[in-house]
């Protein structure tokens, strides 16, 4: 149940960042893209754990959440630097070329979702419900890592 809750949180987090990107025009940075990949890896490993190698899959999913937390903490650091007027920009990243899929209707949004276009410091400084996105992201990944750690520990005892 705890791993399922972490998986649902991962899906909700992914839906939220895609909403922010496409509906609110908040451009993701490279660290945002890596966090999305950590979230996708976490979701995949949680789902895998429901079918095979439960403890190992969920432990790896917890590690993916930990990596996402480290990336969010670094992005938070970059946002703090930007607040002190020493903006650090990170390199743009494109994980999926626009030509991967033959249909432009599919390839353009998918490639856009996996392309970092903005500054890490600026992207992380956007606010959601009064709190910077970097803070939400760090709290999200830490909560998922905690849920998955508890799921692994409770699975061990059975």
* CB-based contact 21:116 (threshold 8 Å): no
Cα 15 to Cα 23, 60, 156: the distances in Å are 11, 22, 31
* Local structure of 91: helix, strand or coil: coil
* pLDDT for residue 120: 66
* pLDDT for residue 132: 84
Q: Which position has the token pair 């630097």?
A: 81
Percent of the chain exceeding pLDDT 70 equals 71
Tally of domains within the chain: 1
Residue 89 lies in domain: 2-157
Reported as a pLDDT band with limits 50, 70 and 90, residue 86 is low
Cα gap 46→60, rounded to integer Å: 9
Q: Per-residue pLDDT averaged across 78-105, rounded?
A: 58
Taking only the tens place, the pLDDT of each residue in 10-25 is 999 999 988 988 898 8
* pLDDT for residue 138: 92
| pLDDT of 111 higher than 90 | no
| pLDDT of 89 higher than 50 | yes
Percent of the chain exceeding pLDDT 90 equals 39
Task: List the CATH number of the domain containing 10.
Answer: 1.20.1550
């Amino acid at each position: 149940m705890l791993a399922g809750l972490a998986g649902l949180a991962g899906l909700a987090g992914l839906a939220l960042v895609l909403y922010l990107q496409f509906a609110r025009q908040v451009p993701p940075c490279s660290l945002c893209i890596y966090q999305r990949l950590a979230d996708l890896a976490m979701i995949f490993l949680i789902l895998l754990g429901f079918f095979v190698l439960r403890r190992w899959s969920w432990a790896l999913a917890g590690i993916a959440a930990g990596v996402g937390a480290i990336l969010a903490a670094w992005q938070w650091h970059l946002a703090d630097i930007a607040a002190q007027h020493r903006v650090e920009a990170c390199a743009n990243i494109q994980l999926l070329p626009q030509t991967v899929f033959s249909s432009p209707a599919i390839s353009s949004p998918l490639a856009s979702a996996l392309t970092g276009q903005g500054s890490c410091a600026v992207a992380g400084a956007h606010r959601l419900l009064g709190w910077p996105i970097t803070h939400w992201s760090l709290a999200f990944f830490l909560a998922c890592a905690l849920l998955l750690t508890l799921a692994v520990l409770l699975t061990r005892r059975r």
